[in-house]
Chains A and B, each alone.
Chain A
Amino acid sequence: RKEVEQDPGPFNVPEGATVAFNCTYSNSASQSFFWYRQDCRKEPKLLMSVYSSGNEDGRFTAQLNRASQYISLLIRDSKLSDSATYLCVGSYGNKLVFGAGTILRVKS
């Protein structure tokens, strides 16, 4: 079983829609989690950090459920520019473990 698992998608949604991604992790020792956004053929860029139960930044909300070992990312009012791959990432000591990513396509 992979340490961090995500639904690969793609999620195809219309502009303005609300979309949620889930991510499960197997190692309960993880100290914190992150969502990174990766555009096609580009490097990952940090979207949100989740150190406690959750975090909110504008249209983006991340929630962490340690009992069930999953993290979610909610995107409200989707924009065309939100189209990307979203990477769920867990931290273990000095290292990060990456999920394979969930593809989001927002269409007009």
Chain B
Amino acid sequence: DGGITQSPKYLFRKEGQNVTLSCEQNLNHDAMYWYRQDPGQGLRLIYYSQIVNDFQKGDIAEGYSVSREKKESFPLTVTSAQKNPTAFYLCASRRTGTGERIGVRGIYNEQFFGPGTRLTVL
């Protein structure tokens, strides 16, 4: 089955520790994204990558780092510099390119999400 996996599902971290969240996809999508979600708020973009070996900062990149060495993988490291790391972290991927969708020619914009990782800092 094609899809996006994230691990672990739950993660507990002590203050001052770096942790790495895993995201893997076998959808053959070029673009991948990391978001965080806090209660009562919309998803906020941390980092994204359009292609292997390239990535860009999102709206809240401070205290985070990423790598994109393989098309299938986009790990996120939450560093000790992130002041409020407790959140629900979601990874997503998007097919790039153009095509016909419901009679409208355009680019694909839909993103598909993994099950998420809940990070709690103790």
Which residues of A line the B interface, CB within 8 A? 2, 4, 8, 31-32, 34, 41-46, 49, 51-52, 55, 87, 91, 94-101
Q: Evaluate contact between B43 and A31: CB separation under 8 angstroms.
A: no
Q: Evaluate contact between B48 and A94: CB separation under 8 angstroms.
A: yes
**Shortest distance from the beta carbon of B9 to any chain A beta carbon, whole Å:** 10
Instruction: Give Cα A31–Cα B107 distance, bound, in whole angstroms.
Output: 9
**Shortest distance from the beta carbon of A86 to any chain B beta carbon, whole Å:** 12
In the assembled complex, B77 has its CB within 8 A of some CB on chain A: no
Which residues of B line the A interface, CB within 8 A? 31, 33, 35, 40-45, 48, 50, 58, 88, 90, 94, 101-104, 106-107, 109-116, 118
Between-chain CB contacts (< 8 Å), 30 pairs: A2-B42, A8-B40, A31-B106, A31-B107, A31-B109, A32-B109, A34-B109, A34-B110, A42-B116, A43-B90, A43-B113, A44-B90, A46-B111, A46-B112, A49-B101, A49-B102, A49-B110, A51-B104, A52-B103, A87-B43, A91-B109, A94-B31, A94-B48, A95-B48, A95-B58, A97-B42, A98-B35, A98-B42, A98-B44, A100-B40
Instruction: Give Cα A49–Cα B115 distance, bound, in whole angstroms.
Output: 21
